[in-house]
């Protein structure tokens, strides 16, 4: 079973031992999205956030890092997209000097903290950390606050192709670990031929 992230109630930079360099008010035109954003599905679903920011403003600044003459988003892409819809000129932000690798880890952890990724998306990010960044299951488990067993479970789910997961979502079914594992077994011929996901 997954363990709630140890920093569920903590500031993201504090949780990663990073110091915020300064709080800024950045022009939206000076911000670029993170090309390594872990989220694949639901990127455009920001209507609820738009309404909240319209009424209350931005409660939590986005986190950015300097990228050339621009600022790249580390955490808060949905808040950035909502600000664009609201036609804001600027957005409150906190700049970090963390490395690119550390920023990817923070982006993944922040999305998991907010529960805005489905298990397959988390699994893909875990695979990236393990294969490309040579992180061990133990190291990834510490980043996300998961057990090593759950890290390996999610990594296995990531073997599913994006279309299969997208079809499951379009069918209105839940992208739970149980459903995704059942779909994986079907795809790899280890389970029954018919797939009956839970609601």
Q: What are the start and end residues of each CATH 3.90.1530.10 domain in the chain?
A: 11-98
Q: Please state which of the four CATH numbers 1.10.287.3510, 3.90.1530.10, 3.30.420.40, 3.40.1160.10 is assigned to the domain occupying 11-98.
A: 3.90.1530.10
Are 83 and 28 a contacting pair, CB within 8 Å? yes
State yes or no: is 181 an active-site residue: no
Grouping H, G, I as helix, E, B as strand and the rest as coil, residue 30 is: helix
What is the distance in angstroms between the CA of the first residue and the CA of the last residue of the chain? 20
pLDDT, tens only, 69-108:
999 998 888 899 999 999 999 999 998 888 888 888 887 8
Q: Is the pLDDT of residue 28 over 90?
A: yes
Are 31 and 68 a contacting pair, CB within 8 Å? no
Catalytic: which of 77, 95, 112, 121?
Answer: 77
Are 92 and 15 a contacting pair, CB within 8 Å? no
pTM (predicted TM-score)? 0.59
Indicate the average pLDDT of the chain: 80
Grouping H, G, I as helix, E, B as strand and the rest as coil, residue 131 is: helix
pLDDT, tens only, 157-187:
999 998 999 999 889 888 999 999 999 999 8
What is the structure's pLDDT at 53?
92
**Can you read off the two tokens belonging to residue 149?**
């067993």
């Amino acid at each position: 079973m997954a363990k709630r992230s140890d920093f569920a109630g903590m500031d993201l930079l504090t949780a990663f031992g990073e110091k915020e360099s300064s709080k800024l008010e950045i022009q939206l035109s000076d911000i670029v999205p993170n090309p390594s954003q872990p989220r694949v599905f639901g990127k455009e679903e920001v209507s609820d956030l738009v309404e909240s920011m319209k009424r209350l403003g931005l409660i939590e600044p986005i986190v950015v890092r300097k990228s050339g003459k621009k600022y790249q988003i580390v955490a808060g892409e949905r808040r950035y997209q909502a600000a664009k819809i609201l036609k804001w000129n600027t957005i409150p932000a906190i700049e970090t000097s963390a490395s690119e690798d550390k920023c990817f880890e923070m982006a993944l952890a922040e999305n998991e903290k907010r529960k805005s990724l489905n298990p397959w998306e988390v699994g893909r990010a875990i695979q990236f950390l393990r294969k490309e960044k040579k992180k061990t299951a133990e190291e990834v488990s510490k980043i996300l606050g998961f057990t090593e067993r759950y890290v390996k479970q999610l990594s296995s789910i990531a073997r599913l192709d994006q279309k299969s997961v997208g079809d499951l979502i379009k069918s209105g079914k839940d992208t739970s670990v149980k459903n995704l594992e059942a779909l994986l077994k079907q795809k790899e011929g280890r389970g029954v031929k018919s797939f009956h996901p839970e609601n």
